[in-house]
Amino acid sequence: MSSFISYFINGISLGSVYAIIALGYTMVYGIAKMLNFAHGDIIMVGGFTTYVITSTMGMSPMVGILSAVVVCTVLGVAIERIAYKPLRGASSLSVLITAIGVSYFLQNAALIIFGADTKSFQSVINVPPIVLADGAITISGVTTVTVLSCIVILIALTTFINKTKTGQAMLAVSEDKGAATLMGINVNRTIAVTFAIGSALAAIAGVLLCSAYPTLSSTTGAMPGIKAFVAAVFGGIGSIPGAMIGGIVLGVIENLSKAYISSQLSDAIVFSVLIIVLLVKPTGLMGKQIQEKV
Amino acid sequence: MGKILEVKNLNVYYGVIHAIKNVSFDVEEGEIVTLIGANGAGKTTTLQTITGLIQAKSGEVIYGGNDITKIPGYKLVSMGIAHVPEGRRVFSDLSVYQNLMLGAFTRKDKAEIENTLSVVYKRFPRLEERKEQRAGTLSGGEQQMLAMGRALMSHPKMMLLDEPSMGLSPIYVNEIFDIIKKINEDGVTVLLVEQNANKALAIANRAYVLETGNIVLSGDAHKLMEDPQVKAAYLSE
């Protein structure tokens, strides 16, 4: 029983990372109506930035995390500006191909700068573990911090969207860009803000991910990126609570199948669950029923 | 009084299709001016070009003495232009109240916004009754009222209305035209695009008749109502 609880808690922790990444996917999709496949690679950039600041330059973990957030935010906005903004109004297929191109660009740039060998990442989270049930269950510091970060981010994001003018502008742009313009909303600026928030979240996810699984290479962000995309679709892409629930459910399924079925099959099981959910409910768990106009 | 809006030699293309051909017209401050014409004559395109949703190939749009032809659409709201688009385009997932507040997006002073909100609620009591309701669940007539109320929230000097009566029941049509007249009496200049030429000419000071991208007739609205050509083409008895 105690091992099940441990696997379950680790699943929630992994799922929280997926959820934070999925929030970025889902916000960008909801507002810019595009799948930013380079989103996963922003995680990797966040990981490397922290690595350089803390391991190479020997600065404090806090500086490392803040630098990762700043670098990823600027990078996310720059990518949107240079690669995606000129394609506003182009077919969604062109935008998708561009996003895949940006993804390969980031991976190969990291390969050139940092080389092909896997780096070992020094965890930047120094929080003591929580021991429960006379030592039968140990919750690591990274797990605690990850789950708490996820909760704080969800509350902050929901408050931001419901209570601020920029948040309301995001909702307006996500529904009708033309009508939003007629309200005096600068649509391009709103989309840039969305990319900034999504990329900042990816940076935090990168730091948490590398702290929990302490290796780092140019493709570190690829698989978690795809899993988080699955989580976003699973929860209903465009929906913020959907991304949250999708991420956590996915993390728990993945960890439990690794523990009880087979660690080789765990990814196959995760993707099978996605297929089943989409067959039963094509819009995802919390997706809107309305057909999207193309 | 003077001209609040002047459109000079406007040309708009959709690809190779010449949709608006050398269109010129003007609106005096305080007037209701209507553009009437059949489906596809270019009425909506004209309005969308004025508010920057579509770029003109050539020509000028002068508003309050300033050339606004190249100014991005979102900046025009704070200059006093409110556009109520065809098909209403309310934010259907958001509440009536959220829609109205988005109308005041460019305004900063909270007390003044509250003031305008109470004026809008007085003008459209149904919006106040349904302020927590999702806009998508409103009837067509109520959505039209919301779209107009949302536009009023920006405290405009001039309102562009695109087919406000489209798809509405006759009772709502009369109500909407009454409200347009009252909004105008409160000092808002109105440029009205309508297929319902009867109603539009009845409340307008002047009118322009658009036919396949050209202005073919213009003048005093009540005189145009008596014009045999207009009667035959646009006014059903």
| Residue range B114-150, pLDDT digits in tens | 999 999 999 999 999 999 999 999 999 999 999 999 9
Taking 60 as the threshold, does the pLDDT of residue A294 lie above it? no
Residue type, A66: L
Lowest mean pLDDT among A1-5, A266-270, B109-113: A1-5
Copy the structure tokens of residue A286.
């919390």
Say yes or no for a CB contact (<8 Å) between A182 and B93: no
List all residues 6 or more positions away from B92 whose beta carbon is below 8 Å from its beta carbon: A175, B134, B135, B136
Between B225 and A106, residue with greater pLDDT: A106
Say yes or no for a CB contact (<8 Å) between B102 and A186: no
Taking 70 as the threshold, does the pLDDT of residue A115 lie above it? yes
Taking 60 as the threshold, does the pLDDT of residue A289 lie above it? no
Q: Could you read off the pLDDT of B67-85 as tens digits, one per residue?
A: 999 999 999 999 999 999 9
Say yes or no for a CB contact (<8 Å) between A183 and B83: no
pLDDT of residue A33: 87
Chain B interface mutation, best of A173, A176, A183, highest count of B Cβ atoms under 10 Å: A183
Chain A interface mutation, best of B74, B78, B158, highest count of A Cβ atoms under 10 Å: B74
Closest-CA residue to A190 (of A207, A169, A206) = A169
Residue where the block lists tokens 């030699």:
B9
Chain A interface includes B55 (CB < 8 A): no
Q: Which of A169, A176, A178 is opposite residue B105, by nearest beta carbon?
A: A169
Between B235 and A166, residue with greater pLDDT: A166
Domain spans in chain A, listed from the N-terminal domain onward: 2-128+137-280
pLDDT of residue B39: 84
Could you tell me the domains of chain B? 3-87+157-234 (3.40.50.300)
Concatenated DSSP letters for B181-228? HHHHHTT-EEEEEES-HHHHHHH-SEEEEEETTEEEEEEEHHHHHH-H
Question: What is the average pLDDT across A199-209?
Answer: 96
CATH of domain A2-128+137-280: 1.10.3470
Q: How far apart are CA B118 and CA B107, in angstroms?
A: 16
Question: What is the average pLDDT across A108-118?
Answer: 93
Q: How far apart are CA B52 and CA B73, in angstroms?
A: 4
Computed on alpha carbons and rounded to an integer, the radius of gyration of chain B in Å comes to 17
Q: Which of A165, A171, A182 is opposite residue B83, by nearest beta carbon?
A: A182
Burial of B12 (0-12, 13-18, 19+ CB in 10 A): buried
pLDDT of residue B68: 95
Contact between B49 and B12 under an 8 Å Cβ cutoff? The reply is yes
Say yes or no for a CB contact (<8 Å) between B53 and A182: yes
Taking 70 as the threshold, does the pLDDT of residue A185 lie above it? yes
Taking 90 as the threshold, does the pLDDT of residue A263 lie above it? no
Taking 70 as the pLDDT cut, the residues of chain B under it are 1, 236-237
pLDDT of residue B1: 62
Contact between A290 and A239 under an 8 Å Cβ cutoff? The reply is no
Q: What one-character DSSP code corresponds to residue B15?
A: T
pLDDT of residue B118: 97
Taking 90 as the threshold, does the pLDDT of residue A288 lie above it? no
The alpha-carbon gap from A231 to the nearest alpha carbon of chain B, in Å, equals 23
Taking 70 as the threshold, does the pLDDT of residue A118 lie above it? yes
Closest-CA residue to A235 (of A15, A54, A6, A1) = A15
- Residue B35: φ, ψ to 5°: -105, 115
Between A123 and A46, residue with greater pLDDT: A46
Chain A residues in contact with B91 by the CB 8 A cut-off are 171-172, 175-176, 179
Q: Considering only CB atoms, which residues of chain A are within 8 Å of chain B?
A: 165, 168-169, 171-172, 175-176, 178-187, 288
pLDDT of residue A293: 41
Say yes or no for a CB contact (<8 Å) between A183 and B77: yes
The alpha-carbon gap from B102 to the nearest alpha carbon of chain A, in Å, equals 6
Chain B residues in contact with A184 by the CB 8 A cut-off are 74-78, 105-106, 154
Question: What is the average pLDDT across A272-284?
Answer: 88
- Listed by number, the residues of chain B in 154-193 with a beta carbon closer than 8 Å to a beta carbon of chain A are 154
